[in-house]
Structure 1
């Protein structure tokens, strides 16, 4: 049996990286690790399918700004790796980023100029974080990464997971029970089936009913304009439309 390729899941925090990563925790024969040290990534047994979500930054393994690890070193260890970059509408992502960014810019990797933004409003700090990672980080992997969307995952998780299996040449029917369990967890609003990803729970705020278009519940029109002024160009390059004035 041919081993499924190694997988690296990347993206800005609070964009679905955690719940997307947990898709691999039980999929086929994958060994899944969330935010491992990069030493663990390098030492992994690649005779088995390995999946990682955003390795932690390390002074031992310096990276170019926008990524938390040196991409070339990872590809030396896993030359056939598949990379996925998940993106979320910046207006919704900023709403979710507030908890972590308010804690001394607790989301990683940090933009190199993050300290220069600490005097700016929290909303602006979050927008800068989203914009930098989805521009400078994604640019480093764009030639080989598959770009996937938070909104597609939330809207139809089973179709989304089947598409990921197709990318990796994994038979979804052989993993039907696992995919069904994962899909039931992925909800646009809280209900009895929704189970948040383990590593996301400390960053949640009970201030919204939905995940797609959450910004309409959380942001003023002035905040929407400020975010779009910072992140709009990158957002539009990634396929998001400018918000309609007055729709917040």
Structure 2
């Protein structure tokens, strides 16, 4: 069974993968090693089964049947996090499986390393099923955890699973109904770097495709750039997304930041009196991971791990090396939309300027 699961909640490209990787250095947690979309969106919970409204779910969706199915699927996917994959490890694994058909360029490996090991023409466009449909997984595809599955005795005693999915921003009431004893780590990030990273995600020709939506997209800077840009929505699907289909890409990303972080801050405020949550800023994780993890460990009831005493951070990468100034590639467009997010940015602890 699951006990006190730890949900990491933040907008896409906010640093939730980094926080998850840090928590997974604890010997007391288990992981599914990837985004949970394939698990959460089965059996009627996919947006297509709900009028394409959004990724939002509430307590009424947490039926006994849904709860039992989710428990079974999460427990079946649980592994010990194990050692982190090196770039060479990833390339060796892709060497093995690419002979069986999977395309290496849709995996989370530095692009330069991929090109050295797998020369040839780069693929572009969303990866799909054999009939051209949506995959359960959102690229970049991840690598499985290396540790063992829980034993029957461990399952009977209850395991602590760490889970992070970008859609969770809009599902806190649903998660609370399913797991009343859950702990939450909310993550926020500076809107400038966030919006820049979101724009890079939308403009990546191989990554982050989530849904072929029924509403035609006319997003300037995306729909007029790629042949798939008139149909494929990227990352999570926030409430109100249909109102954004005629906006420029920078504004779509700014409104994404606004919608996700409004939900995050509201949930963090509501849960603060319970002592079952903590709100962290990505910048604080980068600047002082030891102090940040001390606060996280206390909030989620984990013993402080020796590994958190190191200042080295896991490398979370999507084909390009992390760089705090990457957003400046879109600086002019981002500065034009910053007024949209200024109030909420200040509420999240960022300078309005």
Q: Scaled by the length of structure 1, what TM-score is found? A: 0.72
Match for residue 77 of structure 1? 178
1:98, distance to aligned residue in structure 2 (A): 1.1
Map Cα deviations across residues 109-148 of structure 1 (whole Å, 9 max, x no partner). x223324323322111111100011113542453114211
CA RMSD of aligned residues (A): 2.8
Match for residue 160 of structure 1? 292
Match for residue 283 of structure 2? 151
Provide the aligned length of Structure 1 versus Structure 2: 208
Note the 1:56-75 alignment, pairs <5 A. 67=170, 69=171, 71-75=172-176
- For 2:239 and 2:300, the matched residues in 1 are separated by 34
1:83, distance to aligned residue in structure 2 (A): 0.9
Larger radius of gyration: 2
Bigger RCO (CA 8 Å, 6+ sep)? 2
| Long gaps (5+) in structure 1 | 58-65, 187-194, 244-248
Map Cα deviations across residues 27-69 of structure 1 (whole Å, 9 max, x no partner). 1320123322226754345811111102768xxxxxxxx51x3
| Long gaps (5+) in structure 2 | 41-65, 76-154, 204-208, 210-231, 272-276
Match for residue 192 of structure 1? none
Answering whether residue 262 of structure 2 is matched by residue 135 of structure 1, we say yes
- What is the aligned counterpart of 2:308 among 156, 179, 201? 179
- For 2:18 and 2:191, the matched residues in 1 are separated by 18
Q: Residues 180 and 136 (structure 1 numbering): CA distance in 2 closer, same or farther, change over 3 Å?
A: closer
- For 1:35 and 1:138, the matched residues in 2 are separated by 21
- For 1:228 and 1:105, the matched residues in 2 are separated by 22
Match for residue 239 of structure 2? 112
- For 1:89 and 1:135, the matched residues in 2 are separated by 14
1:180, distance to aligned residue in structure 2 (A): 5.0
Answering whether residue 12 of structure 2 is matched by residue 13 of structure 1, we say yes
Choose 138-147 or 26-35, whichever is displaced more.
138-147
Map Cα deviations across residues 126-179 of structure 1 (whole Å, 9 max, x no partner). 11100011113542453114211001001111221222122234332xx21x32
Match for residue 233 of structure 1? 343
